Structure 1
Amino acid sequence: MKDWDAYNTTTRARGKELSGLHPELVKGFGALARGAATTQHLDAKTRELIALAVAVTTRCDGCIDAHVRKAKVAGASKAEMAEALGVAIALNAGAAFTYSLHVLDAAGDETAAE
């Protein structure tokens, strides 16, 4: 398993490096994140549970690290996180099912000889 504290420390250091190399990019990313966090109808815990489900579906370790930390601060329990992950798992399975239909469509109407 991953050492998330070490991962966080390393990621923050590399983020500072990127900020030094391309400050406008990092400033824009920060603005996007702040904009997404400014909501009228969703509370912080709900936003973070959604973020965790998206982090899993996009396979983003940095997102998982950041949003687990934020979800805890927002009061999310491990059980609530698990329920959000259930949604992510179901959607990933749904996407695999749907894209499997694309494969069948791409294969055409002919059946291969058995």
Structure 2
Amino acid sequence: MSTAGQTTNQLDAKTRELIAVAVGISLRCDGCITVHTDAARKAGTTEAELAETLGVAVSINAGAAIVYSTCALDAFAASAEV
């Protein structure tokens, strides 16, 4: 599966690995983070590029926390109606 993107070459290897790092962080997968951070470095990623990728992952997760928090509030309200 990890080679599927290589067949289209729409994204370069570095970009694919940075996306994989961000997804690994979102999934809280230590193995994914380790493997894809190493692959990103080997693909030429700089520390600054990795830092920006981490910023994107953090901003997405914070947004998701807000969305899921409203779901929890809705569920709480719905359980009171029963």
* TM-score of Structure 1 vs Structure 2, range by shorter chain: 0.7 to 0.9
The code of the aligned residue for 2:3 comes to R
Counterpart contact for 1:37–1:47, Cα < 8 Å = no
Q: Deviations over 1:67-92 (max 9, x none)?
A: 11111111100110010011110111
Q: Taking structure 2 as the reference length, what is the TM-score of the superposition?
A: 0.85
**What is the CA deviation profile of residues 34-89 of structure 1, one whole-angstrom value per residue up to 9, with x for unaligned ones?**
21443321001111110110011111111111111111111100110010011110
Q: 1:34 aligned to 2:31? A: no
Q: Write the letter of the residue equivalent to 1:75.
A: G
Cα distance in 1 for partners of 2:32, 2:6 equals: 14
Separation in 2 of the partners of 1:45 and 1:65? 15
State the TM-score, normalizing by the size of structure 1. Answer: 0.63
In structure 2, the partner of 1:108 is 77
Gaps of 5+ in 2: none
Q: Distance between the aligned counterparts of 2:23 and 2:35, measured in 1?
A: 12
Question: Is 1:67 the counterpart of 2:36 in the alignment?
Answer: yes
The amino acid across from 1:64 in the alignment is I
Give every structure 1 segment of 4 or more consecutive aligned residues whose post-TM-superposition deviation is greater than 6 Å.
none
The percent identity for this pair of structures is 54
